[in-house]
Structure 1
Amino acid sequence: MRLQRVAAQVPAGARLADIGSDHAYLPVALLRRGAIAAAVAGEVALTPFNAACRTVRDQGLEQQVRVRLADGLAAIEPADAIDAISICGMGGESIRDILDSGKARLSGRERLILQPNGGEQPLRQWLMDNGYRILHEEILRENRFDYEVIVAERAGPVAYTEEQLYFGPLQMQARSPAFLAKWQSILQRKQQTLANFARARQAVPEDKVQQVARQARWITELLA
């Protein structure tokens, strides 16, 4: 389901770089239905790199998919003319670090389709700091976990509030049932954390207590 939702955000006819491609399922699925023109599948680890090579070879797509063993955006070469980048299935901080360390490989014309497993706030912070506007956000629940999809394009200076970075600016507006259910669950965990802090025999740093209390307040106001 996650790959389907990510695939739906890849522009028709795009030249896609799928970073951390694993078995290259996403670019292969898009090419098989004629949705994209070409793809790069980047993998930093040898085992998934070999798996991606097998998938591409088995589907007879060696001419359309370049599988590269490389760290992050180093998989992208100027001649690829990439205009969409997908990075899925890892923490938001890891996605942020891949984007940041590979900034020189970004032309600024690419659509970023990102599917972080947690750590959405620091990822949104990076997008804002680097002039990327969030065009689409959604939450989906799969195997009892909540996953987010964030789509962004560079648009010049962008300003989001702390709360918008925390919740997602578009998600705050849409208030989907999945979004509200996710934050209801998180609020319960925050309240439990605060109760644990209050009972802790060792002093918890005041700034940590205040941070959790502030987040709990934001969630309570959001759900009101």
Structure 2
Amino acid sequence: MKNFKQISERLKQIATYIDSDMCFADIGSDHAYLPSYICLQKPTVQAIAGEVSKGPYERAKQTVEENELTDRIQVRLGNGLEVIEQDEVDAIVIAGMGGGLIASILKDGAHKLEHITRIIAQPNTNGYIVRKTLHELGFIPIKEQIMEENNHIYEMIVAEREENHPLDEKQYMFGPLLLQEKSPTFIKKWTKERDKVLYILNQMNKSTEKDVEKINQYEKTLRWIEEVIR
């Protein structure tokens, strides 16, 4: 499998969340590595690889052609969920982006989600806004995973449609399932985050013009982190 010895453990883990009978869309597909890897592992999967820029689009097409998967993976040029039709795929993967961008893609393409059964999100930052957006769109986490690779800690959120399932602000921040498990990697991530929040609070308290509202918000975040990592 050409070039696939370099596929990350993070992407290999995401691949396990795609069932063998699914058709899925990989939004921001990064050379179409993930759909190609999955389709070579699972011969009944179909995929769409979406790219917003011409260069990545051409590289994704090249990967699909090299792996002789043109009959099973369509590479499409377009912004976010523009690349899929209303009832075309069962699942969506959006991985390797900031949480704010993932949230924007989901909100902008909300009308395309009616028939989607699973969304797999892997935000590089700000998992809070991804979980909140998923929940607002009627999806809740059925599985969450946290892992470290190349000195970076990644969160993966596998969400399925479920209406009227309450989540609170703390669960948005930490992840309802990660919060239950509290793995060593989870503790490591939030210990680092605590140190960042402490530094920010220290700088804000030194300021001659204090933003009391922001300070209060950071202090609340700090309290929550310290409760969780104890």
TM category (shorter chain) comes to over 0.9
From 132, 142, 145, the counterpart of 2:139: 132
Alignment partner, residue 117 of structure 2? 110
Alignment partner, residue 212 of structure 1? 218
Residues paired across the two proteins, number: 222
Assess if the C-alpha contact under 8 Å between 1:11 and 1:84 holds in 2: no
- Residue 78 of structure 1, CA deviation: 4.0
Amino acid at match of 1:219: I
- Residue 36 of structure 1, CA deviation: 4.5
Alignment partner, residue 18 of structure 1? 26
Question: CA separation of 1:128/1:58 partners in 2, compared to 1, >3 Å: closer, same or farther?
Answer: same
Assess if the C-alpha contact under 8 Å between 1:138 and 1:171 holds in 2: yes
CA distance in 2, matches of 1:63, 1:107: 26
Assess if the C-alpha contact under 8 Å between 2:131 and 2:140 holds in 1: no
CA distance in 2, matches of 1:108, 1:134: 17
- Residue 88 of structure 1, CA deviation: 0.5
From 157, 161, 167, the counterpart of 1:150: 157
Amino acid at match of 1:63: D
Secondary structure class of the residue paired with 1:117: strand
Alignment partner, residue 51 of structure 1? 59
Which consecutive unaligned segments of at least 5 residues does structure 2 have? Answer: 1-8
Amino acid at match of 2:59: A
CA RMSD of aligned residues (A): 1.3
TM-score, normalised with respect to structure 2: 0.93
Which consecutive unaligned segments of at least 5 residues does structure 1 have? Answer: none
CA deviation digits over 1:105-160, x for unaligned, max 9? 11243210111011111111111112111111111111211111001011112211
CA deviation digits over 1:189-211, x for unaligned, max 9? 1112111112223x131111011
Assess if the C-alpha contact under 8 Å between 2:51 and 2:79 holds in 1: yes
- Residue 182 of structure 1, CA deviation: 0.5
Alignment partner, residue 29 of structure 1? 37
Assess if the C-alpha contact under 8 Å between 1:13 and 1:37 holds in 2: yes
- Residue 45 of structure 1, CA deviation: 0.8
Amino acid at match of 2:28: G
CA distance in 2, matches of 1:206, 1:132: 34
Assess if the C-alpha contact under 8 Å between 1:132 and 1:156 holds in 2: yes
Moved beyond 3 Å, runs of 4+ = none
